[in-house]
């Protein structure tokens, strides 16, 4: 047994010598285990170069679809049809009715870096076409069986070119071009094994066409799979195309974006925060008509939704950024999915401001003007004896509902749990007793009764509601110290009073704090920590930004930083952790908008103060206070959501209320 163990142990020790960790065909180190001859430097064969390029351009069938549709759009097509077999693995055919390719240029179309779209460095720096490298067809042909059938407008007949044999033959088709790609990766079976199921590859191919369809509503698209029509989008307006591709709900639950700043214009639609999704599948950004996934733009959009998004929900948006072609470099990624901006900070701030302004409408501003529905006649009922428990009944002289009572005798109940689900509300918390920390001398709003708005309001009569002077209507009652019920021109409004007042206080504090910065609190004993080279460089380069955040960082040595002050409102925060976090984010935003980090840190402090300064649950409000709250919501930006992204109010229309009570049936 011992001898056997020694043999096994000896074999294990000698294993590395038997299996070198480098390619034995490469140049071996001197006196190495293998004495292979040195290889000379030489040019690679054209076929191998094309296959290397294919590895960059062609990842899966969807990559082929994207490149071929790019070419079809550049050819001026009005209709593009994509036909797939086995999710595109067995066959991909892209047909268009564009300008076509002359017969004498068909062989050139399959050569590497042969294109009609650019001819000089100046044209490359200001490229406006979808494709421009001239390598896609060559890369695709190197890993598949490819053929081109094309007919220019002035040609008597079409011609078909086989990429493998180079044979050019007459063919039958109308004006335009068809690219046939069959048996993808047949020459590289190892890569074919990495493809997913047919259904998965089909979904990626459809998504590739969907991205083009959103950007080009003037072009019709059709996708066929195994002889069956999968998707079809006819030529339409931008808004109709968005509804066709993403659904009518997206258009209904989003707001139009139209923002101009210098040489940049941003158009599209930004989804409302309450319509946010669990996935980021409805996020589309285009730069000069080209779909991109840019970290800078994604960060700007996320920051624009910070104040109004709940939890980890993902907003939906379709944005088109038009910018001078010379200000953006589209030649930084093989698949053209990423771009680089000359003025990244300008792009960041412009995108953020465009979406922020779109989302900053006060509560009720987007409600259409509509008269209050006339109640459906009902059978006479016995008067109700008393309001339901949990109601804060209005005074005798206060206006009542059209029926004269909050609810009739035959009442359909909506429990507090039902209402809490509408608002994604947590359980009501107990009133906060400790005073909120101040920022630069600012104190949170007291818990005293809500002050009426400064402007003189008209009498609280029904006419003002019907005329749409008050989008959120007039207060009727308070439910369980949590919700305010109001009547407006559309029906019943239910307001989460704490969430609504929290947003009002928060926005007011932000306005007041913009000119003051964040107060700093010196530390009696500086907190030192071992810092990386990047952290030290960032601390030295961003002293002004750090001071604006209430942080004082100074080097103690080549590898040590000391924290000498921190924000006064974060007295309980660990100064080292806080400093590291801020330095990390400042380094990440080196090419973007560093001022946004300062604003965000300040806003987080103010949001905490506003939460504790707003009216608390279980506090009874008078009708005057309730109406003051509604008027302030109508005048406050972003009052549709609280500081945590939860909705502050919901509308129940008369039609929905009639359906609850089966009226008119």
258-272 residue pLDDT tens: 999 988 999 999 998
- Closest by CA position to 51, among listed 188, 160, 237, 223: 188
- pLDDT averaged over every residue in the chain: 78
155-181 residue pLDDT tens: 989 999 998 888 899 999 999 999 999
Query: In this predicted structure, what is the pLDDT of residue 203?
Result: 96
Q: Cα angle at 593 between 587 and 594, to 5 degrees? A: 50
Query: In this predicted structure, what is the pLDDT of residue 92?
Result: 96
Q: How far apart are CA 154 and CA 174, in angstroms?
A: 11
* 316 band by pLDDT with thresholds 50, 70 and 90: very high
479-490 residue pLDDT tens: 988 899 999 888
How many CB atoms are located within 10 Å of the residue 475 CB?
A: 26
Share above pLDDT 70 across residues of the chain, in percent, rounded to a whole number: 72
The DSSP result for 350-413, as a single string, is HHHHHHHHHHTPPTTTTPPP-PPPPPPP----PPPSSPPTTEEPPPTTS---TTSSSS-SSPPP
Q: What is the mean pLDDT of residues 514-540?
A: 88
Q: What are the Cα distances from residue 193, in Å, to 64, 75, 84, 488, 611?
A: 17, 34, 19, 62, 55
Query: How many Cα neighbours within 13 Å face the side chain of 113?
Result: 7
Q: What are the Cα distances from residue 475, in Å, to 78, 543, 641?
A: 55, 51, 19
Q: Cα angle at 214 between 213 and 217, to 5 degrees? A: 70
Query: In this predicted structure, what is the pLDDT of residue 100?
Result: 92
Q: What is the mean pLDDT of residues 657-664?
A: 87
Query: In this predicted structure, what is the pLDDT of residue 581?
Result: 83
Pick the range with the lowest mean pLDDT from 428-442, 588-602, 619-633: 428-442
Better-scored residue on pLDDT, 229 or 325? 229
Query: In this predicted structure, what is the pLDDT of residue 48?
Result: 73
179-207 residue pLDDT tens: 999 999 887 777 788 889 999 999 999 99
Q: What is the mean pLDDT of residues 240-244?
A: 95
Q: How far apart are CA 194 and CA 627, in angstroms?
A: 63
pTM: 0.67
109-126 residue pLDDT tens: 888 777 776 666 766 666
Run of H or E residues at 256: strand 254-261
Query: In this predicted structure, what is the pLDDT of residue 199?
Result: 94
Query: In this predicted structure, what is the pLDDT of residue 208?
Result: 95
Query: In this predicted structure, what is the pLDDT of residue 19?
Result: 46
Q: What is the dihedral of CA 245, 246, 249, 251, to 10 degrees?
A: -80
* 423 band by pLDDT with thresholds 50, 70 and 90: low
Q: What is the mean pLDDT of residues 525-553?
A: 90
Query: In this predicted structure, what is the pLDDT of residue 147?
Result: 95
Q: How far apart are CA 335 and CA 330, in angstroms?
A: 10
549-599 residue pLDDT tens: 788 999 998 899 999 998 886 777 789 988 898 888 788 765 455 566 667
Query: Residue 64 pLDDT > 90, yes or no?
Result: yes
* 36 band by pLDDT with thresholds 50, 70 and 90: low
Query: In this predicted structure, what is the pLDDT of residue 373?
Result: 43
Q: Are 131 and 139 in contact (CB under 8 A)?
A: no
Query: Residue 40 pLDDT > 50, yes or no?
Result: yes
């Amino acid at each position: 047994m011992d001898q056997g163990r020694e043999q096994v142990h000896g074999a294990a020790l000698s294993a590395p010598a038997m299996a070198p960790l480098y390619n034995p065909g490469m140049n071996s180190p001197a006196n190495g285990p293998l004495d292979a001859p040195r290889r000379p430097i030489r040019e690679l064969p054209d076929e191998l170069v094309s296959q290397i390029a294919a590895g960059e351009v062609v990842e899966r069938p969807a990559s082929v679809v994207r490149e071929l549709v790019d070419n079809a759009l550049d050819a001026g097509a009005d209709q593009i049809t994509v036909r797939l077999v086995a999710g595109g693995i067995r066959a991909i055919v892209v047909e268009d009715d564009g300008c076509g390719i002359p017969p004498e240029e068909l062989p050139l179309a399959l050569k590497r870096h042969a294109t009609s779209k650019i001819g000089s460095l100046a044209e490359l720096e200001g490229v406006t076409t979808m494709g421009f490298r001239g390598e896609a067809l060559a890369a695709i042909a190197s890993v598949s069986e490819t053929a081109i059938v094309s007919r220019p407008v002035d040609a008597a007949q079409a011609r078909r070119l086989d990429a493998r044999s180079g044979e050019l033959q007459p063919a039958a088709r109308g004006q335009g071009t068809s690219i046939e790609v069959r048996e993808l990766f047949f020459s590289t079976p190892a890569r074919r094994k990495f493809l997913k199921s047919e259904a998965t590859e089909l979904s990626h191919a459809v998504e590739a066409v969907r991205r083009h369809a959103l950007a080009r509503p003037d072009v019709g698209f059709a996708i066929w799979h195994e002889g069956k029509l999968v998707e079809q989008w006819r030529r339409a307006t931008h808004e109709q195309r968005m509804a066709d591709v993403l659904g009518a709900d997206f258009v209904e639950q989003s707001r139009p974006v139209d923002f101009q700043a210098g040489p940049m214009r941003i158009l599209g639609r930004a989804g409302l925060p309450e319509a946010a999704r669990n996935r980021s599948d409805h996020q589309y950004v285009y730069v000069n008509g080209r779909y991109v996934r840019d970290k800078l733009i994604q960060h700007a959009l996320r920051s624009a939704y910070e104040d109004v998004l709940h939890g980890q929900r993902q907003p939906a948006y379709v944005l088109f950024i038009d910018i001078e072609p010379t200000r953006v470099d589209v030649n930084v990624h093989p698949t053209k999915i990423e771009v680089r901006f000359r003025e990244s900070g300008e792009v960041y701030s412009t995108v953020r401001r465009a979406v922020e302004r779109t989302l900053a409408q006060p509560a009720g501003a987007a409600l259409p003007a509509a008269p209050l529905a006339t109640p459906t006649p009902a059978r006479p009922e016995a008067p109700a004896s008393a309001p339901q428990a949990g109601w804060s009944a209005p005074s005798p002289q206060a206006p009542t509902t059209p029926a004269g009572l909050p609810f009739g005798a035959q009442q359909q109940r909506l429990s507090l749990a039902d209402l809490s689900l509408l608002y994604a509300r947590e359980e009501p918390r107990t009133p906060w007793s400790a005073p909120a920390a101040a920022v630069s001398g600012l104190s949170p709003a007291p818990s005293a009764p809500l002050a009426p708005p400064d402007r003189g309001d008209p009498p609280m009569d029904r006419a003002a509601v019907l005329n749409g002077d008050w989008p959120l209507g007039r207060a009727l009652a308070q439910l369980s110290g949590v919700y305010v019920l109001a009547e407006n021109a559309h029906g019943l409004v239910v307001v989460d009073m704490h969430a609504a007042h929290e947003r009002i206080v928060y926005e007011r504090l932000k306005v007041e704090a913009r000119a003051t910065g964040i107060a700093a609190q010196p530390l009696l004993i500086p907190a030192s920590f071992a810092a990386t080279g990047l952290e030290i460089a960032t601390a030295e380069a961003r002293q002004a930004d750090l001071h604006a955040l209430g942080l004082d960082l100074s080097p103690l040595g080549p590898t040590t930083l000391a924290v000498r002050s921190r924000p006064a409102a974060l007295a309980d925060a660990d100064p080292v952790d806080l400093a590291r976090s801020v330095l990390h984010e400042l380094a990440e935003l080196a090419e973007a908008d560093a001022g946004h980090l300062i604003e965000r840190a300040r806003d987080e402090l103010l949001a905490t103060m506003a939460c504790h300064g707003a009216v608390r649950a279980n506090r009874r409000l008078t009708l005057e206070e309730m109406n003051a709250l509604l008027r302030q919501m109508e005048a406050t930006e972003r009052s549709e959501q609280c500081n945590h992204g939860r909705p502050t109010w919901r509308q129940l229309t008369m039609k929905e209320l009639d359906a609850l009570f089966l009226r008119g049936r």
